[in-house]
Chains A and B, each alone.
Chain A
């Protein structure tokens, strides 16, 4: 009886799994086809010839492996920087009663509303004046700072829900503000930090605009730039190797997701219910 009751759930789960896995499967099969097969054969068809050479092209011609490494070089320290700074700001905004707090919170939140394209020229001008084109540290700082508004918004909101009695008892026991933040409050804020971290990481990992404008050294291209290697001058592109590149670039993201799966899922529902 119980088993019968569960049947619809299983059926729904299978349908959902098929729907969600289909794009991945489509990308995988397309990564082994050429343009003629991709456009003319059925979307469910297997490749006529399994073109593993597409993967070789992605790795050699588009230098995907180097691009993945670069994306990590931008994304890991960028996310780390963003989270450390955002945690400290969120700590002040949520745990201290300062007059400026309302203004500061709005100031950071406004960052969420500024479109990235409006920043292209002023930032390029500053970077040009400082001769910092093609610089990893610059890109890391830039990415980290761009992701801060959302991280501050998420972390501050979550931190406000943590009881202030914790702070008081810690201070009575002689705890300083740095230790209070990083050893007591930060672990409790982990669901929000994880969410902000994951969102920032993928945002930086997939960026295109800033890499186009501030990077001209092809050895510093990130994955979005590398994936454009197979686009020709008039829009014609070799889709097989492009899909192969996409498959290669999503592997690390799946690994990151699986490693932090629990935290991401917790983070997504963080703050949904007040305890």
Chain B
């Protein structure tokens, strides 16, 4: 009898547990149950971005989504954003492989996106043409989602990224030197800064994209877009004398102490932290760092300069390394779902939305020109915008124009290997091998 009672108790407990959990599950799972408006009147729109977390931009993004939901009670927005790059890629690729592509997703375009443009992304050109008031405000940042052999535009820009050099005005004053204008001036900075216990431009390549950004900047300042065109058309090689000298220059900077002595093990957070602690005079970083720098104690002491140019190639002085992130839309949607998706897309990328981002983050640079009262803008953004005024052309990474998907990974890891000890020649040869093995 006792055993029977115990068994009943256990079974009842299990039943209660499963009921409670099922209830929780169904409330959480309501996202999928109302798919396509089958379960109710709401039309579901799923969006996947990397704007998730506690930073100001992500918070502003969530607030915008909330506002949209309030204004459009008939549309249910499912935010599937993940900020971590690897997790985002895993989630997105799994979604594609399982045919569960989100209505809107964030990406960086380029050749690596071409396969998505061909298969799952909607051509947004008709949408852009239809609403000139919205599309006319964008800066010319669409090239990353346009292809010579496929008709259409497969995303609209949602962020404008570029890379410059932040510098510590105080440290430069103490060292008695001026911020560098040319590449040739970089090495000369080592000694003055050594005397005050600092490094000219500490670099951390642990995550390995920094080395990729550096060689791209050097290539653009040396050759403009010509070398990129020659490399992707295979007229030029990664190990030809032109490119070799760039690898060699990076190695020389490392040996001279321009970049510090801890390149491979230092990460981005460490680099920024040491810049803010006055141990590095310059920080080679993108505009995404503005909010972090402007919230530091030394925000007023931070200046911004464009990446230095080669003294014998002043014609490329105003070429900037810059790229844009964009929103693509799934081409499998139609009817009310498509209308709701486009509505959300426009809501997140119109001038008001970017103004909202600018106010929430107290600055930043955006794919449309945002006019803000100068008292509302943080000092670092002001400096950045001032430096960026000189920019005449923005070029994305060479690898994004290339049709070999693994080239970017290979280039970045080879450069990391070079900082760890490999020779520039070996590095250049290994990168070229990837190109050769794909043809």
Contact = CB atoms under 8 A, between A and B. Distances in A.
A39 B54 contact: no
B54 A241 contact: yes
A13 interface: no
B29 A232 contact: no
B286 interface: yes
A255 to B, nearest CB: 21
Interface stretch (A98-106, A135-143, A163-171, A266-274): A135-143
B292 interface: yes
B233 to A, nearest CB: 30
Contact of A236 (B17, B29, B268, B274): B268
A137 B25 contact: yes
A140 B52 CA distance: 25
B18 A120 contact: no
Interface in B233-290: 267-270, 272-274, 276-277, 279, 286, 288-289
A248 interface: no
A217 B98 contact: no
B332 interface: no
A77 B94 contact: no
B79 A121 contact: no
Interface in A57-99: 57, 61-62, 73, 77
B53 A230 contact: yes
Interface stretch (B31-39, B134-142, B224-232, B399-407): B31-39
Contacts of B272: 35, 236
B51 A233 contact: yes
A216 B91 CA distance: 10
Contact of A134 (B28, B51, B207, B286): B28
A231 B28 contact: no
Contacts of A7: none
B28 A217 contact: yes
Interface in A118-153: 120-121, 124-125, 128, 131-138, 140
Contacts of B55: 232-233
Interface string B82-97: 1111010011001101
Given A124-B97, A131-B35, A137-B18, A35 B54 contact: no
A233 B54 contact: no
B82 A212 contact: yes
B84 A136 contact: no
Interface centre among A132, A136, A232, A238 (most CB of B within 10 A): A232
A218 B83 CA distance: 13
B31 A133 contact: yes
A123 to B, nearest CB: 9
Contact-residue bracket for chain A: 35 or more
Interface in A197-222: 208-209, 212-213, 216-220
Interface in B73-118: 78-80, 82-85, 87, 90-91, 94-95, 97-100
Q: How large is the interface on B (under 10, 10 to 19, 20 to 34, 35 or more residues)?
A: 35 or more
Nearest to B297: A36
Contacts of A121: 94, 97-98
Contact of A35 (B24, B85, B100, B269): B269
The majority secondary structure among interface residues of chain A is helix
B21 interface: yes
Interface in B20-59: 21-22, 24-26, 28-29, 31-33, 35, 46, 50-55, 57
A136 B83 contact: no
Contacts of B83: 228-229, 231-233
Contacts of A35: 269, 272-273, 276
A164 B42 CA distance: 62
Contacts of B78: 216
A239 B97 contact: no
Contacts of B53: 228-232
Contacts of B1: none
Nearest to B33: A131
Given A208-B87, A236-B289, A133 B29 contact: yes
A160 interface: no
A237 interface: yes
27 contacts: A35-B273, A36-B277, A36-B296, A39-B270, A39-B274, A77-B17, A120-B94, A121-B94, A124-B94, A128-B99, A131-B29, A131-B35, A132-B29, A132-B32, A133-B31, A135-B25, A135-B28, A136-B21, A136-B24, A209-B90, A212-B87, A218-B79, A220-B28, A229-B52, A229-B54, A232-B292, A236-B292
Given A212-B87, A219-B28, 19 more contacts: A36-B276, A39-B273, A40-B279, A73-B21, A120-B94, A121-B94, A121-B97, A124-B94, A125-B97, A128-B98, A128-B99, A131-B33, A135-B29, A136-B28, A218-B79, A231-B83, A232-B55, A234-B268, A236-B269
Interface of B: 3, 17-18, 21-22, 24-26, 28-29, 31-33, 35, 46, 50-55, 57, 78-80, 82-85, 87, 90-91, 94-95, 97-100, 207, 267-270, 272-274, 276-277, 279, 286, 288-289, 292, 296
